[in-house]
């Protein structure tokens, strides 16, 4: 088992995307692999790898992944002032964000087996995958998120989730674990959404006077993006009308304005939050960092690891290989050289055994 897992992790780090890729990597790198483990019987065939990963229970593999992350993340993150394991809101972790979001592997469907949908937790500043939970489809995120939260230490952190996770049970779970939250608000909570929207569109004189505002302007790639954040803590009326939302302390409206040539687009998004001592600028930064899970995790897995095109699709193999990719990505991120992309780091590791050893040495 150890030999099979070592082979697979090394192969995926170096660019392997299929069982055949992993088999060929093993044959070409047997001398290197034997510096770690004996591989007395050589390296396995693609069929052996296929059978193994179809048979492993993803829930058990996931629990081992999270234990592995916890075994080395806390010291690494503490050294860089990004600890994710504290349990009080006054700790250094108080301004750190854990983004939770789902992703579907489009080509992982097989006959009656639907495509894999994985809900992942991502430390946006450390850019590390903290854990994942397999679901049947996107609608199951509602039940998957509380299960994933059980595995995570979110004490002192800000948990951000899109509108699918806007559920009372989820806010309760986060608060029970001594975390805070910003959760997007849309039509799935229609009454709450309409009241929050009306509050920002037609605020009372008192609410307007107490509302905090901030604005950022970014230029690049031929466009200008203006973001205005309005933060309101004058929400006792809202808590009375909508009880059951744990520790609801503030609501936020973010107005986005994008200028692309002569075209200007506008969008307003609304959020509920639990940390009452945040400023508008801090709230905007926390909410914006949520999109790191899209850019630095989902996009990277698709563009650098080919996850969306992967045809590993039977049994438990898609979920287990998704975890292997998370392992590889975490390792590469810790060893990443400035201005060298994840894709190039994978090539570098495949070309140069010393680089592969350096990546492995980050965590073992």
Average pLDDT over residues 90-115: 70
Work out the pLDDT band at 77, boundaries 50, 70, 90. Answer: very low
Average pLDDT over residues 154-170: 95
Q: What is the pLDDT of residue 91?
A: 38
Distance CA 299, CA 179 (A): 27
When pLDDT is averaged across residues 285-298 and rounded to a whole number, the result is 92
In the chain, the percentage of residues whose pLDDT exceeds 90 is 71
Segment 198-232, tens digit of pLDDT = 999 999 899 899 999 999 999 987 889 999 999 99
The continuous run of DSSP H or E covering 146 comes out as: helix 141-151
CA distance 84 to 96: 7
Q: What is the pTM of this model?
A: 0.87
Kindly indicate the confidence band of residue 137, based on its pLDDT and cuts at 50, 70 and 90.
low
Residue 252 lies in a domain: yes
Of 255, 294, 252, 244, which is closest to residue 276 (Cα–Cα)? 252
For residue 72, name the pLDDT band (cuts at 50, 70, 90).
low
Residue 93: pLDDT over 60:
no
Domain assignment of residue 313, yes or no = no
Average pLDDT over residues 60-79: 72
On whether residue 216 sits in a domain, the answer given is yes
Q: Is residue 10 part of a domain?
A: no
Domain that holds residue 216: 183-276
Q: What is the pLDDT of residue 104?
A: 82
Mean pLDDT of all residues in 231-243: 95
Q: Are 84 and 179 in contact (CB under 8 A)?
A: no
Q: Domain count of the chain? A: 1
**What does 51-112 look like in DSSP terms, one character per residue?**
HHHHHS-HHHHHHHHHHHHHHHHHHHHHHTT------STTSGGGG-EEEEEEEE-TT--BTT
341 occurs within a structural domain:
no
The string of pLDDT tens digits covering residues 25-53 is 999 999 999 999 999 999 999 999 999 99
Q: Is 319 within the bounds of a domain?
A: no
Residue 179 has pLDDT above 80, yes or no: yes
Q: What is the mean pLDDT of the chain?
A: 89
Q: What is the spatial distance between Cα 287 and Cα 100, in angstroms, rounded to a whole number?
A: 12
pLDDT at 70: 80
Under the banding of pLDDT at 50, 70 and 90, the label for residue 242 is: very high
Whether the per-residue pLDDT at 75 is higher than 50: the answer is no
Question: pLDDT band at 108, cuts 50/70/90?
Answer: low
Say if 218 falls within a structural domain. Answer: yes
Query: Over 50: is that where the pLDDT of 78 sits?
Result: no
Quick count: other Cβ atoms within 10 Å of Cβ 49?
Answer: 25
- Residue 242 lies inside a defined structural domain of this protein: yes
pLDDT at 86 > cutoff 50: no
- The pLDDT of residue 74 is above 70: no
């Amino acid at each position: 088992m150890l030999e099979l897992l070592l082979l697979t992790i090394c192969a995926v780090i170096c660019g392997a995307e299929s069982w055949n890729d992993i088999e060929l990597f093993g044959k070409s790198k047997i001398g290197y692999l034997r510096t770690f483990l004996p591989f007395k019987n050589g390296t396995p065939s693609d069929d052996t790898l296929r059978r193994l990963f179809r048979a492993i229970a993803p829930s058990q593999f996931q629990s081992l992944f999270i234990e592995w992350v916890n075994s080395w993340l806390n010291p690494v993150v503490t050294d860089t002032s990004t600890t994710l394991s504290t349990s009080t809101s006054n700790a250094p972790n108080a301004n750190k964000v854990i983004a939770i979001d789902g992703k579907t592997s489009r080509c992982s469907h097989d006959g009656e087996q639907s495509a894999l949908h994985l809900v992942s937790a991502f430390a946006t500043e450390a850019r590390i995958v903290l854990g994942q939970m397999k679901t049947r489809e996107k609608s199951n995120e509602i039940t998957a998120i509380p299960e994933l939260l059980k595995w995570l230490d979110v004490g002192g952190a800000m948990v951000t989730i899109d509108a699918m996770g806007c559920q009372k049970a989820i806010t309760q779970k986060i608060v029970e674990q001594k975390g805070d939250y910003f959760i997007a608000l849309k039509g799935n909570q229609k009454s709450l959404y309409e009241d929050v929207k009306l509050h920002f569109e037609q605020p009372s004189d008192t609410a307007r006077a107490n509302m905090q505002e901030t604005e950022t302007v970014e230029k690049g790639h031929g466009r200008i993006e203006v973001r205005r954040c309005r933060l309101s803590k004058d929400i006792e009326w809202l808590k009375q009308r909508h009880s059951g939302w744990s520790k609801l302390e503030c609501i936020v409206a973010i107005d986005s304005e994008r200028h692309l040539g002569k075209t200007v687009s506008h969008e307003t998004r609304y959020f509920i939050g639990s940390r009452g001592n945040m400023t508008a600028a801090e709230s905007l930064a926390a909410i914006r960092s949520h999109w790191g899970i899209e850019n630095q995790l989902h996009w990277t897995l698709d563009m650098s690891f080919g996850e969306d095109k992967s045809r590993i699709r039977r049994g438990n193999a898609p979920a287990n290989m998704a975890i292997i990719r998370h392992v590889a990505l975490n390792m590469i991120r810790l060893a990443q050289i400035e201005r060298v992309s994840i894709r190039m780091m994978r090539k570098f590791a495949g070309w140069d055994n010393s680089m592969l050893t350096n990546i492995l040495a980050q965590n073992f």
